[in-house]
Amino acid sequence: MKVIPTNDLPIKAWLTDLEPGAELQAANLANLPFAYHHIAIMPDCHQGYGMPIGGVLATDGVVVPNAVGVDIGCGMCALRTNLMEMDRPTLKAIMGQIRETVPVGFSHHKEAQDNDYMPGHPDVREQTLPVVRREYDSARKQIGTLGGGNHFIEIQRGSDGRIWVMIHSGSRNIGKQVAEHYNKLAVGLNERWHSAVPKAWELAFLPLDSDEGQAYMAEMQYCVEFALANRKLMMARISEAIDAQFPGVGGGDLINIAHNYAAMEHHFGKNVLIHRKGATRARDGEAGIIPGSQGTKSYIVRGKGNRESFESCSHGAGRKMGRKQACRELSLEDEIRRLGEQGIVHAIRRQDDLDEAPGAYKDISEVMANQADLVDIVVELTPMGVIKG
C-alpha cells in the first residue's frame, strides 16, 4: 500500500502504476465533502465514469449512484464440481449445450422465464420500486443470460484437483436503467441545490434520508438480488449441461460475490455507506473470487479483513488497455496462438474480439502480489474453456 496525499482525505492505493485519469478521479473522491476517512484503490484499478473501477468510497449520509455504476450487482459465482478430469471433446460438448441454453451478448430468452426465478415481484414485495416495476417483464426474459463486455462463463481446472465452473455477470438492462434514472435525478437535484460537487466530476449524490436516496437504495438492492438470481439460473443450466455428460456428478456449495454495490458498514468508529465499484468485500475469513483473463489464472481467495482497504480486495486483473486500443494494437494471430498453446477452448476469431483478449489486461500474478495483505489464495484456477458475450 502507498499513500497519495490530497487537499483533504488521503488515497491509499495497492499499486504503483495508477494511471493519471484514475488518480484524478480518486483525488476527486477524496475531496468530496461527505467522503469519510480515506479513499481505497485496489491493484486492478483503472479509469471509469466518475469513480475509478477498483475503488472503494465511504460516505457519511449520502449515496453516489455513479460510485456503484451502471451494472449494479455485477459479480462472480464459482462452483466446485466433483469431477477430476474432462477431456477436450467432452468439454466442447458441454460448452455447446451451454450456448444453447444461456443467451450471450445482446441476446435474451424468447420467452419470459418463470417468476420463481425472479427475486420477488416488486408490486408484492415493495411499493417504492418504480424503475424495477417498469422493467420487470423485460427482466424476466433477461434472467439467466450472460450479457457482453467482460462477462464470461469459464470451465477451469483447480489446483485442488477438481473441475470448477465460474460465471461473471450482472443485472443486465434492469440495473442499467436503475443506475441511469437515479444518476440523472441526482444531477438535477444537485444543480437545484447548487451543490459544491462540480458537475464535471460525475459524482452527483442523493441524501440517504431523502425519498430519492431511499428509493435508489431499494432499487439498487433489488438489482443486486436480481444479478445473483441471474447467475444462479445460469449455473443451474450449466450444471444440467455437465450432468448430461457426467450424470450425478454433483459439487460443492456456490460461492457468490458482488463487486458493484453500496452497503452500510462500520469502519473506523462510524457507520458509513461503503461504495464498491469493481471491488470485492474481503472480511476476515470471507470467501472471494478474483478472476484473471480468459488466458490466465483465476483465484478463490480468503479475506484478511484489512481495515485500511475497508475490508476489500480487487475484483479481477483490471484493464491495461481500453477496448478500442486493444482492437487497434493487439495482434490477433499472437493472441490466438497463446490461447492455443495453453489448450484453451476460446472464441477469439476476429479483430473486434481483441477487446477481451488476455493482452488487454494487467498481469494477474502482479495484481495478486500487490494485495497479499488483503487476501490469501485458497485455490488457483486455470481456464480450460471460455464462453464470452
Positions marked catalytic: 315
Looking up cell 495482434, which residue turns up? 331
Closest CA to 96 of 252, 247, 293, 244: 244
The C-alpha atoms of residue 157 and residue 199 are separated, in whole angstroms, by: 47
The C-alpha atoms of residue 218 and residue 14 are separated, in whole angstroms, by: 32
The C-alpha atoms of residue 350 and residue 341 are separated, in whole angstroms, by: 18
- Cβ pair 196, 204 in contact under 8 A: no
- Cβ pair 327, 352 in contact under 8 A: yes
The C-alpha atoms of residue 243 and residue 249 are separated, in whole angstroms, by: 6
- Cβ pair 220, 181 in contact under 8 A: no
- Cβ pair 381, 164 in contact under 8 A: yes
53-59 and 39-46 beta bridge pairing? antiparallel
The C-alpha atoms of residue 106 and residue 70 are separated, in whole angstroms, by: 16
The C-alpha atoms of residue 327 and residue 296 are separated, in whole angstroms, by: 19
How would you classify residue 269: left for phi > 0, otherwise alpha for psi between -120 and 50, otherwise beta?
A: left
Residues 6+ apart with CB under 8 A from 310: 40, 56, 58, 265, 267, 274
Query: Could you give the C-alpha distances from 333 to 119, 187, 337, 343, 352, in angstroms and in order?
Result: 44, 45, 6, 15, 13
Q: Evaluate the CA torsion angle 340, 346, 350, 356 in order and state its sign.
A: negative
**Phi–psi pair at 156, nearest 5 degrees:** -135, 155
